[in-house]
Amino acid sequence: MITTFLPIPRTLMGPGPSDVHPRILTAMAKPTIGHLDPEFIRLMDEIKVMLQGVFQTQNALTIPLSAPGSAGMEASFVNLIEPGDKVIILQNGVFGGRMAENVRRFGGDLVLLETAWGRAIDPEQLRSALQAHPDTKIVAFVHAETSTGVRSDAKSLCELAHAAGCLTIVDCVTSLVGCEVDVDGWGADVVYSGTQKCLSCAPGLSPFTMSERAASLTQTRKTPVPSWFLDMNLVMGYWGAGSTRAYHHTAPVNALYGLHEALLMATEEGLSAAWARHARNHEALKAGLEAMGLRFFVPESERLAQLNLVEVPAGVDEALIRRALLGSYNLEIGAGLGPLAGKVWRIGLMGYASRPENVLLCVSALEAVLAQSNAPIHRGQAIDAVQSVYASA
């Protein structure tokens, strides 16, 4: 017999979604109003202003798309690419590969530059490619690669692209609010993110921003945007300025209540404080795991604080450990993807999940299940190492 669905409460410390803050859950439970109601339009305008704040941009086209981050990615490419346009994709993980697939599907001329998984993109690789392909229109890359826990130097990459006359597309799904994202400072043309990571919000929306230069290009294309739903020329008829809005689609009203609250919380905390919180909790997690003898996969200078790749000890069944954490502790961590499958765990410290009690739970639970599996770890030192980091903060 099918009855009301009651999910088991979990602590979400994988690659996403992350824990949703209770304030956001409460906001999403407010009464639904119409998506053209004047009060809802006021909420939309406030969301746009706060999104500009977290993206650090003055772009007028700064909105949440009514779909997850993957739609933000597709919107970026479908609006800018016309058949035959040359696009350089810088890939160092799964999501760079998805960018490349978008270029192929929309008829672009793809130049794919691959970097070893677990390493940041080398700006010199881009410099050489731009010299070899002076007719490039777009350069695209992932700022914070969710599959590898790596952060690349977005500012340097954007500067190289712009010096060559190219537009840039930057994936900030895992970085927004968790570490510095500076759209105007980078000079990035199109940037997209997701609500389910460091914003501590429910999945299903994609914060999105487009520069005036890129927006103008969508209006002067030779061919129509090959997506009706993601055509920014149409979407901005609904999300644009003024009290009169053209109906485009029924917005996910309650999900946007949640995003409004999430952005309000980010504004209250302050971006610098949020970045520092993620960094501090990463340091505590790192101390505990290294005290056990575990190793991080990504070099420290290229590592994300909010998404940690930890190497699986020799002889350990990583899937068995994840099942034990979920079954005994209601704790979710993530598996490796692609060539890293079976070799690493992905431990998220994103948004509301990035707090000391989660770090302590993760370290103690992981030590317990590894000890039960007779894994080659050091026992009895991890929690003291975590607490020493917090004591010195």
pLDDT in tens, 152-179: 999 999 999 999 999 999 999 999 999 9
Residue 148, amino acid:
T
Question: 113 vs 91, 121, 240, 283, 325, CA distance in Å?
Answer: 6, 9, 36, 32, 37
pLDDT given for residue 243 in this prediction: 61
Phi then psi for residue 110, to 5 deg, are: -85, 130
pLDDT higher than threshold 80 for residue 245 = yes
Distant-in-sequence, close-in-space partners of 376: CB < 8 Å, separation ≥ 6: 293, 313, 314, 315
**The domain 22-267: what is its CATH number?**
3.40.640.10
Q: Enumerate the CATH 3.40.640.10 domain ranges in the chain, comma separated.
A: 22-267
CB neighbour list of residue 46: distance below 8 Å, 6 or more residues apart: 260
The stretch 187-209 carries a mean pLDDT of 97
- How many residues comprise the chain? 393
Phi, psi of 74, rounded to the nearest 5 degrees = -65, -40
Closest listed residue to residue 165, CA positions, set 132, 134, 122? 134
Which residues make Cβ contacts (< 8 Å) with residue 360, sequence separation at least 6? 383, 386, 387
With cut-offs at 50, 70 and 90, classify the pLDDT of residue 60. very high
pLDDT at 241 over 90: no
In the chain, ranges of CATH 3.90.1150.10 domains = 271-392
Class of domain 271-392: alpha beta
Q: Confidence band (pLDDT; 50, 70, 90) for 226?
A: very high
Using pLDDT thresholds of 50, 70 and 90, give the confidence band for residue 201. very high
Instruction: Report whether pLDDT(221) > 70.
Output: yes
pLDDT at 240 over 90: no
| pLDDT for 244 | 73
Nearest to 302 by CA among 158, 145, 192, 189: 145
| 174: helix, strand or coil | coil
Confidence of residue 138 (pLDDT cuts 50, 70, 90): very high
Q: What is the pLDDT of residues 8-55, one digit of tens each?
A: 999 999 999 999 999 999 999 999 999 999 999 999 999 999 999 999
**pTM across the whole model:** 0.96
> How many other CB atoms sit within 10 Å of the CB of residue 29?
11
Q: Strands 136-142 and 167-171: what pairing?
A: parallel
Residue 292 has pLDDT above 70, yes or no: yes
Tell me the angle at which helices 318-329 and 356-372 cross, rounded to the nearest 10 degrees: 120
Percentage of the chain lying above the pLDDT 70 cut: 99
- 228 secondary structure, DSSP code: S
Strand 136-142 to 144-145 pairing: unpaired
Q: Give, to the nearest 10 degrees, the angle between helix 212-219 and helix 232-239.
A: 120
On the question of pLDDT at 242 being above 70, the answer is: no
Asked if pLDDT for residue 255 goes beyond 70, the answer is yes
